[in-house]
Structure 1
Amino acid sequence: MKRRSTAKLVSCLAIAAALGAAMVGSPASAATLRMAWSQDATGLDPHKQTAFSSIRLLELIYEPLVRLDANLQIVPAVADSWQFSSNGTELTFKLNPNAKFQNGEPVTSADVKASFERILNEATGAVARANFLSIASIDAVDPHTVVFHLSQPDVPILTAMTNLNAAIVSAGEIAKGAINTTPVGSGPFKLEKWDPNSREILVANKMWAGGATGIEGINISVLPDETAILAAMRTGQIDFALLNDPLIATLIPREDRLVLNRAPVLAYHVLQLNPSRKPMTELAVRQAISCAIDRKEVLDTASLGEGKVTGPITTPSFATDPNSLFCYKRDVEKAKKLMADAGYAKGFSATVIAATGEPPTAAAEAQIIQSQLAEIGVKLDIKVMELNVYVDTWLKGDFDMAVALNGGSADPYSMYSRYWTKTGNLQKVANYIDDTLDGLMQKGRAETDPAARKVIFSDFEKHLAEMSPWIWLYTSYSYTAQQKSVQGFTGTPIGSLFGLSKVTVQQ
C-alpha cells in the first residue's frame, strides 16, 4: 500500500484553484462567513440523519434540550435547567422562556413532547430511538415545564439528549409532515437556500435565545474535494473550512494567512463485519480478522498517524487501554490457526464497502486492510460508493464488511445502545448481540455510581472486542481551517461546528 503523495497533491492545486473560484463566486460582505466543505448533507431531518455532513449543517439550525460544551459538560440549550427526581424515574426540564423557532413561534413543552414522541415512534426511523426507550410518558405541565416519566433509572439519558438526533422540532411542522423539507429550528441560523451538492445559504436567526451571532450569515460552498478548498483558502476566497483529510489539514500550518484548528474527537474509524453472513457467523473467523489487522499501520498509512489506536469505547473517562483488549497486537500465525479451526484454512472471498469523502481515508483504509487480510487468505473486493448510497446500504446492513466512521458520545450507553442492545434500532446494522452485551448495557444504564459504571463498561468493552463483530481501528481529529481574520472558533471532542454561532470576521 503506497502512502498518498504530497507531491501529487501539490501538483493538482493549480487546477483546484480555478475550480474553487468557479464554485465559490464573488466575495461576500465582511459580516458573512464564506465557508466550504467537500461533502454535503444527505438530508434535512435531524432525527434521521447519520452522516456527519448532515449533522454539521443541522446543528446550526436546530437545538436539543441540552448540549455538550468543549469539555464534554452538559450545558443549557432549549432548556434552562433540569433535575432528576430522588428515585431517578422522573426528569424535569424548565425551558428557556425566550426560545423561539425561526418562524417566530415559541418553543414550548408541547413541542418537546411531540419531538420525543416522534423519535420513539418506530415508523419515524429515528436513529437515536434506542437511547430513549425508558421514557414511559411525557407530561407538558405548562408551556415551559416538561416532565419525562421513566420506566427505570436511566443515568445516560441526559447525555443522549445532547445529540442533534434528539433535536426539538416544531409540533406544527411535525403535523404538516414538513420536517425533511423545511427546516424550522430554534438554533442560531436559518437555512435560506439549499442547492444540494452545490451550496447552502444560512442567515442569522435574530430571535435566537442564545443571543446575537457574531456574523450575519454563512455562505457554504460545496467544493469537489479538499484540494480545491485549500486552493480557495490560499487565494482568500474562503474564510473558514471543514476538513476531514489529514493530508490536507497538515498543510494548513505552512500557510502564513491560515490557522488550523485541530481537536481529538470521540468518533472512531472501524471495520464493521456482518456476523449474520457466512463465514463471519463463526467467532473464530471474526477473531482471525481482528488478529490479522495491524491497527497502527492503518492509522499511520491512511491517516498519517493523526490519531491513536482505540478500543470500542472512546470516552476518556471510560476507555480501556487497547493493549489489554483481545488481539490488539497483530498476530498473523494466531489468525491463521483460528481460520483453520473454523474450517477456512484456504480463506474466503468477501466485499467491503466504503464511502467517498466520509471519511476521505476510507478507501485507503480498505486497501490497507485488503492487503493485511490477504496474508490469511481473505480476498477482499473493495466497493466504493457515493455517500448517500453508502448510508442507505449501511442502514440496511446489506454488506459483508464496511469501513465506517461512527460518532462517539460522552457516555458509553448513549454511544452504543442503538447497536449493542436487543432493542437497539440499529441492530440490523450491527447484526450481532448476545446476553452478556445486552446485560452489561442494561446494568450500565441503571448504575448511578461512577466507579461501578466504569467497571461495567470495561467488562462490556473487553467482551465486545473478544467477540469481534467489528474491528475498532483508531480515533482521529476534527479539523477546521480559517483565515486569521476569523476569530472565536473552538473545536470540540464531538467535532461540532456550533461554535460558528459566536465567531467574528475582522475587516
Structure 2
Amino acid sequence: MHHRMLHTFRRFGIGLTILILLHSCCGPDPYRDYFKYSEIADPKSLDPALSTDVFTAVKIAILYDNLVKFGVGSEILPSVARSWEISDDGTRYTFHLQSGFRFINGREITAEDVKYSFERVLNPATNSPMIWLFTPITGSDAYAEGKAADVSGLIVEDSLTLVIQLTSPFAPFLGFLAMPAAAIVAPEGVAAAGDRFSERPLGSGPWILEEWKHDNFLSFRPNTDYFFGAPKLKGFMVRIIPEVLTMAVEFESGNLDLMTVPTSEFIYWTHSNTWKPYIQKFDELAFYYLGLNCERKPFDNPRVREAASLAIDRDKIVDRILHGSAEVANGPIPPALPGHNFDRPVDPYDPERARQILIEEGYADGCEFELWADQDAGISQTLEAIQSYLNDAGFKARIIRNDWNMMRDAMRRGKTDAYWGNWWADYADAENFLAPLFQTNTAARRNRYSNPVVDTLIVAMQKTLNDSARAHLAMEIDSIIAIDRPYLFMWYPTTYTVVQPWVRNYQVHLMYNANKYSDVWFDRSGE
C-alpha cells in the first residue's frame, strides 16, 4: 500500500478510537489550558539526587532551581545565585544568593540549604549515582567515606553567601552546578517525606507537582510566587504515551501542544503545509554510536575495529532511514562545541577493504560477535541495516535485544562484544564527551577502552582555564580517539519539534533541562 494512504488509514483507526473515548466522557476538558506534551516512559524519580536520565531531568528543572542555570544556548546564567566570583587559580567559587528566593513552602533559600543539597548527594545513605558531580570539592571524599561530619570545601560565610573550594582547577565545574542533581532541595521536605520524597518534591521551581498517575501522566500547577514570575498558563502536563503513532494522532487531534517529530513520520510532518510553519529544528549536543569492547575479542584488535567502521555506509543510513535528520559523525565532539574537528574526514564506506582486513587478521571464515541493544529502543530498522552492512563485509553479527537493566549489567561486567548507544550532553563542554566515555576507570566507560595519553590530556583539559587552549586539547584527544575507534561514531542528531498554532513563546533550548516552560502561553483567538 502507498505510504501516504497507509498513514491515513492507520491514523483514522486510532483517531476513531480516541474520538469514541472522548465522547464517552462528560463535561469540558479540565486540562484544556494546561501545556501538554508526551514522553514514552515515566520518570524514574522526582528526586534530584537520583536524576540520571532525560525524562527525569525535564521534571526536575520545572520543580527545582540551581545556583546557576543554562540559557537558551550553552550560556550559564544566574538563578538562585545572583552572582559569583572565581579565583584566578580556578579553585575557589564564591556565590552570592538572591534575597527572597523561596521554596514553595514560603521559606527563603539559604546557603545552608545549598550545602545540605550537595552533601545529600554525596551521602552514601542517599545512594545517588551522581556523586561524581561534587568530587572536585575539597573534603568530598572524606565525607562520602564517613570520615568527616561535613564537606570542608562547602563553606557557608553567611545566609546568602556560599564558598566552594576545589582541590584543583576544574574548568567544567560551573556547568556541573546547572545539572539536575545539583538542584536545591528543602531539608524539611526530605525529612517529612522520607523515602517518598520522589513523590512529594519540595523545591522552588515555577511548577508544583499536582498529581502523578504512574505510566499515565504527571500534572503540575503554577507556583504563583515563583521568584522569576508566575507561569503564564494554568497548568503543565506530561502524558506517558509509549507508542509513536498514538502520540502523533493525539497531537493532530489537538490533545498535545508540543511533539517531537517521529523519525518514522519525518517526511509527512516536514512536508506538510499545515505543520511546516510550526516546526522548529535544532542540532543536538549528542551523538549515536556503536560501542566496541576493547578488551574482548574480536574488538580488542584495533584493525578489526577499523574494518567494522569501513563496513558501514553511514551516509545511506542517514539519508534512507533518518531522512536526512542527522549529520554523519567523525568523532565524539558535536560540531557546536569548541574542539570539534571539521577537517577530519569520516571513515569511508569500503566493504572490500574491510573484508581484506578481516582476512589479514585471521577471520577469513567470518568474524562473529554479538551486538547488544535496548529492547525498548525504536531502532530495529537501523540495527538491521548495520547488521547487514557488517555481515556483507565478512562479519557475523548477531543482534541481542534485552531490557536496559540487563544490558547495562552485562556492559558493566564486560560481557558485551558490542552495543548500540547514544550520548547527550549533561553540560555544554567538550570535556563531557571525552572524560565520562574514554577516561580510564570512569563509570560510563563500558567499552573497556584505555589510553594513558588520552587520560593525561583529559586531566590537562580539565585543569586548563584558557578556552583556546582547552579547545586545542579537546581536538587532540578527539583525534586520538578517532584513530583508536573504541566507538564507531555514527551521527549527530537533529531534532524537529512541532507546536500547535495556538502556542506562543515556545523556544527550543539546547540543554534538555534548561526550559522551565514558564513563559509559554496560548492564543486561541483564531479558533
Same fold? TM cut 0.5:
yes
Counterpart contact for 1:323–1:329, Cα < 8 Å = no
Match of 2:146 in 1: none
Aligned to 2:509: 492
Which residue is 2:12 aligned to?
14
Residue 204 (str. 1) matches residue 206 (str. 2) = no
Q: 1:312 aligns with which of 320, 332, 352?
A: 332
Rounded to whole Å, the distance in 1 between the matches of 2:134 and 2:352 is 44
1:174-223 deviation digits (Å, cap 9, x = unpaired)? 55344444333322212222222211111112232221111121122222
Q: Secondary structure at the match of 2:371?
A: strand
Distance in 2 separating the partners of 1:463 and 1:328 = 14
SS of the counterpart of 1:192?
A: strand
Q: Partner residue of 2:177?
A: 161
With over 3 angstroms needed to count, the CA separation of the structure-2 counterparts of 1:186 and 1:249, relative to structure 1, is: farther
Whether the aligned pair in 1 keeps the contact of 2:332 and 2:434 (CA below 8 Å) is no
C-alpha change, 1:117 and 1:430, in structure 2 (3 Å) is farther
Equivalent residue in structure 2 for 1:223, among 241, 249, 260: 241
Does residue 283 in structure 1 map to residue 281 in structure 2? no
Alignment-derived partner of residue 440 in structure 1: 457
Cα deviation, 1:138-183, whole Å, max 9, x if unaligned, reads: 1122222111101111111112222223322333455534444433
Deviations 1:36-93 (A, max 9, x none): 3334323333333333222233322233321221231111222221210122110111
Greater gyration radius: 2
> Aligned pair 1:473/2:490, yes or no?
yes
Q: Is the 8 A contact 1:38 1:357 kept in 2?
A: no
1:254-303 deviation line (CA, Å, top 9, x unaligned): 26367222211102111122223322222222222222222222322331
- Partner of 2:288 in structure 1? 269
Residues 274 and 202 of structure 1: is their aligned pair in 2 closer, same or farther, counting only changes over 3 Å?
Answer: farther
Counterpart Cα distance in 2 of 1:33 and 1:340 = 58
Deviation, 1:319, is: 4.1
The worse-fitting range, judged by mean Cα deviation, of 182-191 and 80-89 is: 182-191
Larger deviation, residues 206-215 vs 437-446:
206-215
Instruction: Give the deviation of 1:314 after TM superposition.
Output: 1.1
> Does structure 2 conserve the Cα–Cα contact (< 8 Å) formed by 1:66 and 1:78?
yes
Choose the corresponding residue for 1:454, options 471, 474, 485: 471
Distance change >3 Å, CA 128–CA 283, structure 1 → 2: farther
* 2:344 equivalent in structure 1: 324
Is the Cα contact below 8 Å between 1:131 and 1:414 reproduced in 2?
A: no
1:238/1:318 CA distance change after superposition, 3 Å: same
Task: Output the CA distance in 2 between the equivalents of 1:214 and 1:341.
Answer: 66
- Choose 347-356 or 431-440, whichever is displaced more: 347-356
Q: Give the TM-score normalised by the residue count of structure 2.
A: 0.85
Secondary structure of 1:91's partner? strand
Relative distance call for 1:174 and 1:42 in structure 2 (3 A) is: same
Aligned-pair distance for 1:488? 0.6
CA separation of 1:68/1:290 partners in 2, compared to 1, >3 Å: closer, same or farther?
Answer: same
Change (3 A) 1:88 1:381: same
Q: 1:366 aligns with which of 353, 375, 383?
A: 383
Distance 1:419 1:347 in 2: 29
Distance apart, 1:410 and its partner CA: 1.5
Query: 1:502 matched to which residue of 2?
Result: 519
- Give me the TM-score of the superposition, normalised by structure 1: 0.88
Change (3 A) 1:344 1:229: same
Structure 2 counterpart of 1:98, from 91, 97, 100: 100
Amino acid at match of 1:369: I
Q: Map 1:402-421 onto structure 2 (within 5 A).
A: 402-408=419-425, 409-421=427-439
- Report if the CA contact (8 A) 1:226-1:248 is conserved: no
Alpha-carbon shift at residue 364 of structure 1 (Å): 2.4
Note closer, same or farther for the CA distance 1:144–1:347 as it changes in structure 2 (3 Å cut). farther
User: How many angstroms apart in 1 are the aligned matches of 2:414 and 2:506?
Assistant: 37
Letter in 2 for 1:295: R
| 1:77 aligned to which of 79, 94, 111 | 79
TM-superposed CA distance for 1:313, in Å, is: 0.5
1:240 matches 2:258: yes
Structure 1 residues 85-138: Cα deviation after superposition (integer angstroms, max 9, x where no partner): 122110111222232333434332223223323434567564554454321121
Structure 1 pair 321/44, CA: closer, same or farther in 2 (3 Å)? same
Cα distance in structure 2, aligned partners of 1:23 and 1:124: 43
Q: Secondary structure at the match of 1:86?
A: coil
Q: CA distance change for structure 1 residues 6 and 53 in 2, over 3 Å: closer, same or farther?
A: farther
Return the alpha-carbon distance in structure 1 between the equivalents of residues 488 and 406 of structure 2: 23
**1:485–1:381 distance in 2 versus 1, CA, 3 Å:** same
- CA distance in structure 2 between the partners assigned to 1:22 and 1:412 by the alignment: 50
Say whether the 8 Å CA contact 2:436–2:442 is kept in structure 1.
yes
User: Partner of 1:194 in structure 2?
Assistant: 212
Name the amino acid aligned to 2:389. Answer: Q
Structure 1 gap ranges (5+): none
Instruction: Give identity over the alignment, percent.
Output: 24
Decide which moves more: 339-348 or 268-277: 339-348
Q: Distance in 2 between matches of 1:481 and 1:98?
A: 37
Cα RMSD (Å): 2.9
Q: CA deviation at 1:249?
A: 4.7
Q: CA deviation at 1:503?
A: 0.2
Does 218-227 or 121-130 show the bigger shift?
Answer: 121-130
Partner of residue 148, structure 2? none
8 A contact 2:206–2:516 mirrored in 1: no
After TM superposition, list the pairs within 5 Å mapping 1:380-395 onto structure 2.
380-385=397-402
Relative distance call for 1:99 and 1:244 in structure 2 (3 A) is farther
Q: Once the two structures are superposed, what CA deviation does each residue of 1:355-396 show, in whole Å capped at 9, x if it has no partner?
A: 3565x4x22221121111112332223234456666666666
Alpha-carbon separation, structure 2, partners of 1:505 and 1:394: 46
Q: Which moved more, 1:120-129 or 1:454-463?
A: 120-129
Decide whether the 8 Å contact of 2:61 with 2:516 is kept in 1: no
